[in-house]
């Protein structure tokens, strides 16, 4: 296979995970992998879909030990960026080390967790430090709670990314006025939405299209949309494949210009690939 000219951005997958099953894992985790997902396997998927770049997201079951992801970023600095998991008390020196490796943000995986006070000095202080760096904060949380979290984090001035369509449960009625508070937040420039892992909210293609349409209406277009494969699709490995997730994106965004914006223009700016 002829190597791709990685300085030329053909597409960016903004959500994937790598791990080994023998790595130390956090106690109380919701999931433990029974297989390895290597960076080489991931890059092969990118190549097969003619995508030039990708973003690695630290898996929640590895906690704040970002070493495995960082090593991959250091091996492939032109192709990859990273989003880490850190404690609120993380030092500036540790953030500097992560930044040097290609990390551009942190993730809050809040599934199954009690919401903390994100206006308090620890978290708010971290968010403000991240804002000064130009980093992002990525959130995974169920749809109904997003309006409780987003305003406090936006107050710090940091850029916010919402995972997986916002994880609207099957019971969520998108036109219910009780969700207006969340949709009203999306006209704020620093909020981005990942069109990723529709299966995590039990959404088939029709449901995903309906959610995308409502998000598009709230955002005023596709200028805040990103795409992610969510590879290796943990806990759903038997239900989907990388190429199927890419085909779903093409169904959601049949307009080539809009698809290019979501695959290239938006993530190149947000994740710092423009200068890659």
- Residues 6 or more apart from 202 whose CB is under 8 A from it? 169, 170
Beta bridge pairs of residue 160:
137, 191
State the residue for tokens 């449901």. 207
CA distance readout (Å), 195 to 42, 69, 227, 272: 19, 23, 5, 19
User: Which one-letter DSSP state was computed for residue 70?
Assistant: H
| Token digits of residue 276 | 């890659």
Domains with residue ranges and CATH for the chain:
12-20+33-268 (3.20.20.140)
3-state secondary structure 114-154: CCCCCCCHHHHHHHHHHHHHCCEEEEECCHHHHHHHHHHHH
Cα gap 268→273, rounded to integer Å: 5
Separation of alpha carbons 74 and 81, rounded Å: 9
Q: Please list the rounded mean pLDDT of every run of 10 residues in the chain (276 residues).
A: 60 98 93 96 98 97 97 97 97 98 96 87 96 96 89 93 94 89 83 96 95 95 97 96 97 97 96 72
Tell me the pairing of strands 103-109 and 136-140.
Answer: parallel
Strands (E), 103-254: 103-109, 136-140, 159-162, 191-196, 225-228
pLDDT confidence of residue 257: 97
**For residue 52, how many other CB atoms are within 10 A of its CB?**
23
Q: What is the 3-state secondary structure (H, E, C) of 14-55?
A: EEECCECCCCCCCCCCCCCCCCCECHHHHHHHHHHCCCCEEE
Q: Are 9 and 276 in contact (CB under 8 A)?
A: yes
Q: Which tokens hold the place of 210?
A: 């309906």
Give the model's pLDDT for residue 6: 55
């Amino acid at each position: 296979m002829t190597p791709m000219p990685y300085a030329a951005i053909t597409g960016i997958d903004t959500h994937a995970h790598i791990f080994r099953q023998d790595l130390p894992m956090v106690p109380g985790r919701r999931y433990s992998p029974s297989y390895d997902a290597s960076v080489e396997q991931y890059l092969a998927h990118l190549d097969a879909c003619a995508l030039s770049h990708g973003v690695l997201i630290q898996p929640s079951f590895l906690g704040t030990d970002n070493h495995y992801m960082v090593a991959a970023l250091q091996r492939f600095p032109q192709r990859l960026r990273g989003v880490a998991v850190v404690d609120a008390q993380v030092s500036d020196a540790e953030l500097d080390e992560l930044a040097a490796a290609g990390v551009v943000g942190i993730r809050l995986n809040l599934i199954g967790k009690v919401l903390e006070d994100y206006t308090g000095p620890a978290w708010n202080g971290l968010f403000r430090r991240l804002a000064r760096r130009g980093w992002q904060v990525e959130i995974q949380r169920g749809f109904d709670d997003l309006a409780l979290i987003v305003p406090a984090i936006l107050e710090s001035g940091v850029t916010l990314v919402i995972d997986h369509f916002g994880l609207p449960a099957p019971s969520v009625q998108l036109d219910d006025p009780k969700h207006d508070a969340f949709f009203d937040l999306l006209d704020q420039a620093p909020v981005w939405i990942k069109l990723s892992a529709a299966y995590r909210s039990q959404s088939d293609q029709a449901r995903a299209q309906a959610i995308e349409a409502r998000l598009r209406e709230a955002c005023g277009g596709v200028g805040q949309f990103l795409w992610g494969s969510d590879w290796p699709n943990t806990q759903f490995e038997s239900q989907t494949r990388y190429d199927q997730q890419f085909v779903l994106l093409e169904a959601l965004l049949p307009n080539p210009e809009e698809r290019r914006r979501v695959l290239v223009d938006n993530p190149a700016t947000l994740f710092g690939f423009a200068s890659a």
